[in-house]
Amino acid sequence: MKILHLSHQSLPDKRVERAAFTGVKHGHKCFFVGLPPIDTRSLIADNLFEDTFSVPWTWKNKLHLPYFWGKPKKRFKHILKTVDPAIVHAHDVFAAKLCHEMNIPFVFDSHELWSPKASLKVVKKGRESLLLKRLVSTKYGLSLWGRWQKQIVKDAPTITVSQTIADELKEEGGKKVFWVPNFPLTKEIAAIKFQKKYEGFSCVYVGDDLSTNSPHRNVTYLLDVFYNINGTLTVIGDEGFTSRSPKIKSLGFLPHNEMMNELTTYHVGLLPWVRHPYHYYCLPNKPIEYAHAGLPTVVTSSLKNIIDVLTRKYCVTFDGSPTALRRVLSELKKSWDAAWSEEIVAYSKENLIWEKHEQKILEAYSMVL
């Protein structure tokens, strides 16, 4: 059958591509509709999509302003006639709202939780994102998208990224809600090249949060911690961060495969965000990537989903304070050993992979066919 993946974002997108990979693997033809691609290279595999189409998503139509909402709707109607899909896989609430309003068969893939309980979030670079952040901060956007979410989950099979979001959507009336975490495919993990670890005690943080400083990903105290302990910190993925300290270095952006190979050279991965209400709902990718590279994750205790999937055997929790982080790192420096790293890799290959959950996507599809 034909599956049309609809998103308000662009390719490449790991979650969209992994879902398409599952579809193609089971004999289906997949198509993509979203913003024009940032990069034409796939993160997962070549030739996943039979064809790709663009839709003009902006903050104005995301707010359902009548004239502006009509633009993506008109374009999408034309694409539907061209492709004639059996089902639409709607990625996030904006795409799902479009399908719900047009009364077409779709599955809702909820990448976020739009709820006052998880008040968030949007802190990205660019004028449009600043405007969107301002609207969310006034609660208008959050209220609107929260209402959409409640309507949609009652009517459509829903896939989401964390168990706590799945539980919340069930409380909102969702009767067909599936947890499909954004774990890597087995083929992605097989490509990792393990390398010799750096001398001493080396820690790594993946993300651009030292320069963007998002409230729910606050790591502003992290540098001070490493000025005062016997260990090194490497930051990967933050083009806006530089350091003059020999104990702290920044590698900037690395392609994903290079990043995974680089991660294997460290002893510990860090997720030391200052506590925030959204932590209860999110399931970040980075500790899963740390684990597949053989690193235990030091994680703030408010990040429930990470602790649940890694188990306390393969992550170390702390309360989100600088003092507690220093103490935990000092203890890990003494206790870390290679056997632990090998055990983490084995656990990850067995448990933290996309294929463990992909059947739920196919089950969701079957509910609307």
pTM: 0.92
Is a pLDDT exceeding 70 seen at residue 135?
Answer: no
8 and 31 in a single domain? The answer is yes
Q: Average of pLDDT values for 255-274?
A: 97
Q: Per the omega criterion (within 30 degrees of 0), is the bond before 249 cis? A: no
For residue 39, what pLDDT band results from cuts at 50, 70 and 90? confident
For residue 128, what pLDDT band results from cuts at 50, 70 and 90? very low
245, two tokens: 């300290």
For residue 41, what pLDDT band results from cuts at 50, 70 and 90? confident
Kindly provide the residue ranges of all beta strands, DSSP E only, lying in the chain, ordered along the sequence.
2-10, 29-35, 49-54, 87-91, 106-110, 158-160, 177-179, 202-206, 232-236, 248-252, 268-271, 297-300, 315-318
pLDDT of 222-239, one tens digit each? 999 999 899 999 999 999
Q: Average of pLDDT values for 71-83?
A: 97
Domain tally, the chain: 2
78 and 134 in a single domain? The answer is yes
Cα–Cα nearest to 185, from 354, 338, 327: 354
Q: Average of pLDDT values for 244-262?
A: 94
Is a pLDDT exceeding 60 seen at residue 112?
Answer: yes
Is a pLDDT exceeding 50 seen at residue 124?
Answer: no
pLDDT of residue 358: 97
pLDDT of residue 119: 59
The domain that holds 12 is classified in CATH as 3.40.50.2000
pLDDT of residue 118: 67
Q: Average of pLDDT values for 292-303?
A: 98
Cα–Cα nearest to 234, from 263, 212, 256, 209: 263
Q: Angle at Cα 19 formed by Cα 271 and Cα 30, nearest 5°?
A: 150
170 and 27 in a single domain? The answer is yes
* Distance (Å, whole) CA 178 – CA 158: 6
Q: Average of pLDDT values for 268-283?
A: 95
Phi–psi pair at 317, nearest 5 degrees? -95, 155
Is a pLDDT exceeding 50 seen at residue 14?
Answer: yes
Per-residue DSSP letter, 103: T
Query: Quick one: what percent of the chain has pLDDT higher than 70?
Result: 93
200 and 104 in a single domain? The answer is no
pLDDT of residue 114: 85
Of the ranges 107-111, 118-122, 123-127, 328-332, which one carries the lowest mean pLDDT score? 123-127
Q: Average of pLDDT values for 2-21?
A: 96
213 and 293 in a single domain? The answer is yes
Q: Average of pLDDT values for 352-360?
A: 98
Range of the domain at 333: 186-351
Cα–Cα nearest to 217, from 314, 327, 125, 122: 122
Per-residue DSSP letter, 297: E
DSSP string, 33-101: EEEPPS-SS-SS-TT-EEEEEE----HHHHTT-HHHHHHHHHHHHHHHHHH--SEEEEESHHHHHHHHH
For residue 356, the SS3 value is: helix
pLDDT of residue 191: 95
92, two tokens: 């996030």
140 and 199 in a single domain? The answer is no
206 and 325 in a single domain? The answer is yes
pLDDT of residue 123: 42
Of the ranges 129-143, 233-247, 306-320, 322-336, which one carries the lowest mean pLDDT score? 129-143
**Amino acid letter for position 156:** A
Is a pLDDT exceeding 70 seen at residue 98?
Answer: yes
Query: Quick one: what percent of the chain has pLDDT higher than 90?
Result: 82
User: Is the separation of the CB atoms in 57 and 127 below 8 Å?
Assistant: no
238 and 306 in a single domain? The answer is yes
Instruction: Considering only residues 16 and 122, tell me which one the structure prediction assigns the higher pLDDT.
Output: 16
Q: Average of pLDDT values for 203-220?
A: 92
Measured CA distances, 240 to 125, 274, 285 (Å): 11, 20, 21
User: Is the separation of the CB atoms in 184 and 176 below 8 Å?
Assistant: no
> What mean pLDDT, rounded, does the chain reach?
92
pLDDT of residue 134: 54
Is a pLDDT exceeding 70 seen at residue 137?
Answer: no
163 and 100 in a single domain? The answer is yes
Is a pLDDT exceeding 60 seen at residue 102?
Answer: yes
319 and 256 in a single domain? The answer is yes
Instruction: Considering only residues 29 and 216, tell me which one the structure prediction assigns the higher pLDDT.
Output: 29
337 and 211 in a single domain? The answer is yes
194 and 330 in a single domain? The answer is yes
Instruction: Considering only residues 124 and 233, tell me which one the structure prediction assigns the higher pLDDT.
Output: 233
